[in-house]
Amino acid sequence: MRNDTNKITLTKEKRSDMIAALKAYYLKERDEKLGDLAAGLLLDFITEELGPEYYNQGVLDSCRFMQDKTEDLLSIQKFSRIASR
């Protein structure tokens, strides 16, 4: 069972924009018209089944970025101590 507190939520406006983007993609790339219901269901699938993988990768990337920046900050601190002697 999934924890609803970890559910990815979209604003009404963002959801509408994403549905429009899916419809435009299908029309351009597949030459198929996708209705609002079908695009909404596809968006729900992507959000629920694939979205967490992208989210988790973003969290890992952010963590690595912050670790790198923290190491940079620490190297500055060490350099400052040496320079002040």
For the cut 90, the answer to whether the pLDDT of residue 69 exceeds it is: no
Output the furthest CA–CA distance in the chain (Å, rounded).
71
In the structure encoding, which two tokens stand for residue 46, read together?
């992507």
The 3-state DSSP class for residue 7 equals coil
How far is the C-alpha of 41 from the C-alpha of 23, rounded, in Å?
12
Of 47, 55, 19, nearest in space to 35 by CA: 19
How far is the C-alpha of 1 from the C-alpha of 58, rounded, in Å?
24
Per-residue pLDDT band for 18 (boundaries 50, 70, 90) equals very high
How far is the C-alpha of 42 from the C-alpha of 17, rounded, in Å?
14
pLDDT of residue 73: 73
Per-residue pLDDT band for 75 (boundaries 50, 70, 90) equals confident
- pLDDT, tens digit, 9 for 90 and up, residues 21-46: 999 999 999 999 999 999 999 999 99
Q: How far is CA 59 from CA 31, 47, 72, in A?
A: 36, 16, 20
For the cut 80, the answer to whether the pLDDT of residue 84 exceeds it is: no
